[in-house]
Structure 1
Amino acid sequence: MLKKIRTEKLRVGMYVILPLSWLTHPFLKNRFCIASEKQIKQILDCGITEITVDLSKSTVFEDNESADRIEQEQAPTSIVPDELREAIYDKNLSLPEKANAVHRHSIKMIKRLMESPTAKNIGETKKGIYDVVDLILSDDAISYHLTRITSHDYYTYTHCVSVGVLAVSLSKELFKRSSAHDMHELGAGFFLHDLGKVFVDERILNKPGKLTDQEMKQIQRHPALGHRILSKTNQLTDECATVVLQHHERYDGKGYPKGLRGSEIHEYGRICSLADVYDALSSERPYRKKLKPFDALKLMKEEMLHHFQRELFEQFVLMLSKPWEDRDPEKSVK
């Protein structure tokens, strides 16, 4: 069980999860059990005002309860919400209701994962993602409604779900029913593309103003950090590796982390890049208001087209602009 507390309430014996990059604190790990008052002072000196404590790994708590009692009282939380699978298979929900329920509970799933990205939790999350991918691939109506949901916030876990839905839907349009692509693992890569941000200071992620050069360097480490997490947890496939490492590369070579250009960027990376930028523009950000879908696409075309493969961008626009009446409802699995 994870719980956020004020940093001044830390005690020796608490297992903490630091919200900072490894470069900005004096400890060997981001997650550890506090062994001394000196470590508490070091955490306070880092300027952290609120910190996450893993109660299941702690030996002391704010109210002096024992770990055994906490374990007895707290039922284990499944990473994949039961409501997600219920929504996927519920035939009585209307299309908008099902789409909103799947989107909402997918966000809950990714949020839980980012609070505790263990090997077991990543594996379970992937299974939940596979179910969502299968739904998108098999049901054109749900795919249509899911891609029309816009987010009112820009939390990393919300963004991951929106990008996942958009990128899987675009891949569906591009690859049709080709067996040359593992859509489960590709979908996992899309939904987990920003997993590395669990090691980036939340104050940087949510900063309302312009980032400093040092802060930008921290942000630009998240593709490599995400790759490392998946590798160390034995959850790294070729599809996940490609998407996680390349979703910030740009067609003109001005992206990161490697500055790849044109065909050097895998098609999977180019797909995720499009979805990533579109969702960033059409969601609320700390430093600006969200754009309407049309305005976001217009801005991408007029000011950012050099970042993307033109033909891929045109396919993306077609997918988002096509009215439901132009699609064949008979192909939708009810």
Structure 2
Amino acid sequence: MVKVGILGFAHGHVMAFGGRWMQMPQLGVEIVAGWDHDISRAESSCAALGGVEVMESAEALVAREDIDAVVVSSETLYHPEHCELAAEAGKAIICYKPLALTLADADRIVQAVEKYNVPFTMGYQMRVDPQNIKIKELIESGTIGDIYVYRRRHGLATHTWAGFENTWHADPKLNRDIFADDSSHPIDMLNWIFGVPETVIAELTTVCNPKVKNDNGVALFKYKNGMIAEISTYFTCSAAEITTEVYGSRGAIQQYFGDAPSTRLPHGTEGLKYFVEGNSDWTLSDIPSPAGHGERIAAQAGPFAEFLHGKRPPICSVYEARDSLKMVLACYLSSQTGQRVRVDDPRLYDI
């Protein structure tokens, strides 16, 4: 049984996959302690997980010899500090997305993981979603030929969430903004499938609540081979259906119900299908779509457990996570300058 401590409960997803660990002992992961700088949040979260022990400090938690691994799910600002504490204590680390606010902070985490040689993975549910894995397999196998265009729409209905502007997700100091926080999902998925692009041109805007910055954004990434990848993030999105489109020389892929807005309503079609030239109809994947987005989040418990038991490699390595952060920050640089920018632009350290 792998014993786990939680460093921060700010990111609510930890309660979904953490709860699954506690409900399914066959996964071989047990949460034994938690800490948060917000003591009331720590107490309520630990109680909800079955009454696990609340620690008085992050240092006290990582000092426990019975703890094998930690989940860093604190506000993004604190990720470098908490990853450094865990790495120095020799704990395996699951860091929930995004890696950090800045490239300098990301470098701190990379250096800590390297210095203490600890197992590390980012938490990105898109990389373990069965339909997304199938999309990646179809692309890499050449089933639809050379890829010309990739498009991913990703959204949340934050404009309907009462008080969202007062949460840490919208706090520039703690999390930058909702684009930095949640665009990291589809941008990392792009990195996972195709690697790091060369350039991006992006437009970020605030259209609903002036206190919730950059609630909508579109980024066009370009790869060395000429492929265009569009990432569209709409955090004022009440409902949707299609999430992923891929167009290649020999066919196309269409995926539905891949985010929260698209899973809230009844599913009127198959979740994933693809067409290959020469066929007379779509091929259905037969991989079911989750009934709700919460199920997709909780389902990370299995892959995380496999990682902690050494049965699989990192879901997303610290180096891949840093690259995904570079791609996100390049969107800001492009939007601020009104120019296409390189993803390795040195000015990203100033963002």
Relative contact order, higher structure (CA 8 A, sep 6+): 2
Q: Same fold judged by TM-score > 0.5?
A: no
With the length of structure 1 as denominator, give the TM-score of the two structures.
0.29
Between Structure 1 and Structure 2, which shows a larger proportion of helix residues?
1
